[in-house]
Chain A
Amino acid sequence: MRLCIVGIGGAGGKITQEFLGNEDLDFRLLSRITDAQYISPGMIQGIWLEADKNDAKNIQHFFGDLNEGCYPCFYIPHDVVADGCEVHRIVREKYGYDVKKQGFVRDAQYLKAIFEIFDTDKEIQVIVAKTMNKEMIESVGGNGANSSASFSQAPNPIFDSAWNVIRNFTTLGDGECDGILFVVSFGGGTGTGFINPIINHIRNEGKADYPVFALGILTELGDYADKAQFSKEGRRNLAAISAIYDLLTKGSGANGVIIIDNQILLDRFGNDYPSANRFIHKMMQPMVAARDYPDEIPPSQAIAQHSSGGLSRPPIFVPLFASLPRSTNPEEALIKKALSEEGKLFGCSPEQADFAFVFCRGFIDSDKIREILTRETSIPPERIWPMRKMGEGNNEILILLRNPYGCDPKAYQKEGTLENRFCKVITMALQYISQHPEDLFYEGKQEEKGKKDGKPAEQVRLTEASKEALKMFFFGPDGMDKDGFGKTSGFAFELKEARRRLRDGEKPFFHNPLRIFYKEAKTEDDFKSKIHEPDKDDIARAVDKRIRELIEQGLIKGP
């Protein structure tokens, strides 16, 4: 699988930079003579999507501007909407959202809301169609040609242009990448809102088996990252859990969310972010590097099907990594090291995993890998898929355990389990919601926001309709009162339910996809009625559920 790495936001860009280093020597004059191509290890390609123009243009110097023909390049999707243009104005007047400010408002709902506004508001769709034609969106986004299938969905300039630039790197466009890996920080503000809309595009083109993974770095505990991420712990945890919630509840969404705990990385590297980023690149090498064993190149569709096959929602993948000097019979030592606390990059219970990808680099026997991993974790051998590459230097192993949690009601009390970590994040997010409800509507002091370029932030002033929609999103029809919030529905309710499921050992722990804006929905009753109207995701889930039942009954064969 040849991946297109899409870094989103500040942290995503820094990690993507590690993946996209040039293997060739950088001599400009010689490059002209030899017509040298930019070559990254594993022939991967990629792009950085960013909101902060100042950061992209003046502070970092690795990525060049896509619009100037540079590679590796950054792209600022909201640039497609000109400052003060009709679309910019109408969205602000009608909803209070400034489409050019995403990324500076440090929460995941901001971009989600903007996507849903374009997705649902007929008036805005008409203005987009009238003032921003298809060619314009494409030309700003690069030279890609979008398919008619993509445009069968509502025109959405920011996300359409972002997809256009990514598409050019993939086999869905003119490129050669047969999979996409989004790299994003869970806890920032820019990132994850892009992922689901882009996956929508891919799936709408009829590519249900095009592999799309998200590699997310869960924000660390404590206040160390407050300055680096321009956001306090509670807010970061709310942003993180919102982002993860959106990714994990989208039916026919990502094929997997690979999650890394930044707390583990920073404990290991003494709060040194660049070292942590380098390590993330290193530990992903068994997956992204070249040199597959002869005749063992797995078709990317097969990887996609095995990743999320039999599941109605995208799974969580927890990475375990080990690297040891070359030796004879290295399998046992590698697996044991990967399964140890040293190897885990997120708390988990390996024995609860229902599938495992094992990416190896070096000279490794796949039968032994299956045998040892089954012995150590009790994952059945047929649910273990080793993929091998000829290595360099050390032998390396990257195990991606699918959904390694659940079935143990006491797990949430134990440190080092996925349940425990997610319970902490959810609790902190709920605390933040309870203590700073005004921040959910951008009515707080806004002290953490918009300081990136040194200028004071212009406060977001939502309209009443947007506030009402957000209130419904967070708290459901019951709203928030002094007795509490999120009693029957809404995001806060879903978080409490997820925490309960984690404590009860249930999986998955996130169930219902939520929206802020609904098509044509204006009243509370409309909202309620829309919730029960099946959409594409509901239908996909129902079909998946039925297929699972048939597999369990033995009427059809599983993947």
Chain B
Amino acid sequence: MPIDISTVMNSLFPAGTLLLALLLIFAAILHVNNLNRVHKLMAVLQHKKEVSKAIFYKEMTISQGSNFTALALAAWIMLFVAVAYLYLLVPTILPFSYMDIAELASSIMGFAIFGILVACLAGVIYLFLDKLPQDHRDLRLMELYSFYSISKNMKKMISITVIALCISVLLSAYIGTIFPAHSQPAELLSLVLLVVSAGVLVMPIYKEAWEARR
């Protein structure tokens, strides 16, 4: 049976979207699981009924450096912006989009306003999570990496995702510019950059979960 290239291409985007969603959801689950597992192990190895989570998190966190933390934060904000640009700027998968607000979307600063709004929203979410009590430090996105041992090369890769995500945003902006026309290669490339970047950002979580299997 001949394979219809256009059908394959059309299914790549939803498949990539699904992959991105699963990657992030599983990362969140594994992160919580990683920390809970170590927390329980501490109680077992210290022959205690329970170890205070606040003390446990305090001992477990290690400083990764201000430069890295700043770049990692920027990368996560860019991830939010890139996702919003790819899925909300034009109707790719969802039935609604920023283009529905035609006047704002087509103004000179239209795309920029959208990006800034999403970045601000992401910033507010980070700040909110950062205010969670000591017992829930595992949910603070800003402290995500301080629970993991991250090599210098990994840190460089995480910081490079900022560039990859910028390219993804630019490609999505291009798609928005030519809308209602479509550019499937641009959409796929933007998605690939998004998936790869998200993968790199959550890689320390997967690595730790993989090592813990032993």
Contact = CB atoms under 8 A, between A and B. Distances in A.
Nearest to B208: A392
B10 to A, nearest CB: 40
Contacts of B41: 363
B160 to A, nearest CB: 11
Contacts of B212: 326
B66 A390 contact: no
A382 interface: no
A285 to B, nearest CB: 11
A447 interface: no
B64 interface: yes
Interface in A250-300: 290-297
A39 B63 contact: yes
Interface stretch (A29-37, A59-67, A122-130, A151-159): A29-37
A93 interface: no
A34 B59 contact: no
A327 B149 contact: no
Given A34-B70, A39-B65, A25 B56 contact: no
Contacts of B63: 23, 39, 43
B29 interface: no
Most buried by A among B59, B62, B67: B67
B156 interface: yes
B132 interface: no
Nearest to A43: B63
A408 interface: no
Interface string A340-373: 0000000000000000000000011111000000
B22 interface: no
Q: A interface, by DSSP: helix, strand, loop or mixed?
A: loop
Nearest to B59: A294
Nearest to B213: A326
Q: Range of interface residues on chain A? A: 35 or more
Given A25-B155, A43-B63, A326-B211, A294 B68 contact: no
A35 to B, nearest CB: 7
Nearest to B53: A294
A484 interface: no
Nearest to A24: B65
Contacts of A43: 63
A37 B63 CA distance: 10
A534 interface: no
A107 to B, nearest CB: 40
Interface in B156-187: 156, 159
Interface stretch (B1-9, B44-52, B87-95, B195-203): B44-52
Nearest to B46: A293
A237 B26 CA distance: 59
Most buried by B among A24, A36, A364: A24
B65 A25 contact: yes
Contacts of A69: none
Contact of B55 (A295, A325, A365, A393): A295
A35 B65 CA distance: 10
B122 interface: no
B152 interface: yes
Contact of B67 (A31, A293, A365): A31
A24 B66 contact: yes
A290 B159 CA distance: 24
A393 B149 contact: yes
A365 B152 CA distance: 30
Given A23-B63, A294-B55, A296-B46, A392 B214 contact: no
A555 B212 CA distance: 50
A22 interface: yes
B120 interface: no
Interface residues of B, number: 31
B67 A35 contact: no
Contacts of B152: 23, 25
B60 interface: yes
Given A25-B159, A291-B62, A326-B214, A36 B46 contact: no
B42 interface: yes
Contacts of A367: 47
B180 to A, nearest CB: 41
B38 interface: yes
A292 B58 CA distance: 10
A297 B63 CA distance: 18
Contacts of B56: 294
A24 B68 contact: yes
B71 interface: yes
Contact of B66 (A36, A327, A393): A36
A306 to B, nearest CB: 20
B68 A291 contact: no
Interface string B91-119: 00000000000000000000000000000
B60 A291 contact: yes
A39 B150 CA distance: 14
Given A34-B66, A34-B67, A363-B45, A294 B52 contact: yes
Contacts of A327: 214
Interface string A8-28: 000000000000001111110
B64 A24 contact: yes
B76 to A, nearest CB: 16
Contacts of A36: 65-67
A326 B41 CA distance: 14
Contacts of A296: 46
Contacts of A363: 38, 41, 45
Contact of B59 (A23, A35, A37, A293): A293
Given A43-B63, A294-B52, A30 B70 contact: yes
Contact of A25 (B42, B55, B59, B67): B67
Contacts of B65: 22-25, 36-37, 39
Interface string B9-21: 0000000000000
Contacts of A291: 59-60, 62
A327 B156 CA distance: 30
A294 B38 contact: no
26 contacts: A23-B63, A23-B65, A25-B71, A27-B67, A31-B66, A33-B70, A34-B66, A34-B67, A34-B69, A35-B66, A36-B65, A36-B66, A36-B67, A37-B65, A291-B59, A291-B60, A293-B45, A293-B46, A293-B59, A294-B58, A326-B211, A326-B214, A363-B38, A363-B45, A365-B45, A367-B47
Nearest 5 A/B pairs, CB to CB? A24-B65, A392-B149, A34-B66, A36-B66, A326-B214
Given A292-B59, A392-B149, 7 more contacts: A23-B64, A24-B67, A33-B70, A294-B58, A367-B47, A390-B59, A393-B149
